[in-house]
Structure 1
Amino acid sequence: MKFQFRLAYYMFGLFLGGVFVIWFLKSKATDRGVEFCYFPNCRVLKDLRSKSLEIDTLAQRSIDQKLVTMDDVRNSLRYGDVDFDKSNKDYRKGKIYIIEGKTASNEEITITMVNYTNKVLLEKIEKK
């Protein structure tokens, strides 16, 4: 058999195998709500979202003044960026994390959270 035909058969089989794997993994992920988080930013945000949330008085004041909403905080915890230069430091028997996100009106906000073993404290919300 010529090299061209062997290459064509190989590429066709590789294509079918790739389609099968993508279809299989996608159906598994959507059925069970599985989220693939391998990068540090995604893993930290997923850990913060998975724990119960307590709101400090300073953060509650920002929410009460309608500077931000809880939807803005939730969206920042899903799509925001963790500032690792200022984060992951010991703070009040937990670890502090600084998350940069955006509001629904596309204004930049900075959220300060303290991650404990069983809960997360929303300490401060600031607009830039």
Structure 2
Amino acid sequence: MAFLRRLGWYLVGLSIGLIFLVFFLKKKSGEEGIEFCYLPNCRVLKDMRSKTLTFDENLPEQYKDTLLIKAFLTDGDVDFGNSDTKSEPCKTYLIENEGKVLKAQSCAEKIVIQEINN
């Protein structure tokens, strides 16, 4: 009888855990999209997407396109080897996407797009 009681409690806990897991994973894959950023690339891009976007005055007009910049900040890969992540007050990042390289400064409240190279 003790085994059946333990098995019952195990199944109750397992079912509660499964319900929680289904709810959580459905929310993650839904339109609300809970995003898990554990890797440095994801964390840097998520932080940059949360700041206001400004453009350097030397940047050509053809690159002052927010859709282009959004593509860099969602699908880009940060080149940490060539980026200056230790500078103060703004860190400089090089982000690669589709053969182009974006150079941006990430300050406390804003990001400044400096240049885009092919």
Q: Same fold (TM over 0.5)?
A: yes
In 2, Cα distance between equivalents of 1:17 and 1:82: 40
Pairwise CA distance, 1:57: 2.0
CA distance in 1, matches of 2:70, 2:94: 14
Do structure 1's residue 78 and structure 2's residue 74 form an aligned pair? yes
Q: Note the residue ranges of structure 1 that are not aligned, 5 or more in a row.
A: 1-13, 103-107
Hey, what's the Cα distance between the residues in 2 that align with 1:23 and 1:59? Answer: 47
Q: 1:28 to 1:121 in 2, by over 3 A?
A: same
Task: Find the aligned partners of 1:72 and 1:17 in 2 and give their Cα distance.
Answer: 44
Alignment length, in residue pairs?
105
Matches within 5 A, 1:1-128: 20=19, 22-29=21-28, 30=30, 32-63=32-63, 69-87=65-83, 88-90=85-87, 93-102=89-98, 108-127=99-118
State TM-score, norm by structure 1.
Answer: 0.67
Distance in 1 between the 2:59 and 2:25 partners? 38
Identity of aligned residues (%): 35
Point out where structure 2 has 5 or more consecutive residues left out of the alignment: 1-13
Judge conservation of contact 1:101–1:109 (CA < 8 Å) in 2: yes
1:46-71 Cα shifts (integer Å, max 9, x gaps): 0000000001123343426xxxx432
Contact 1:62–1:125 (CA under 8 A) maintained in structure 2: no
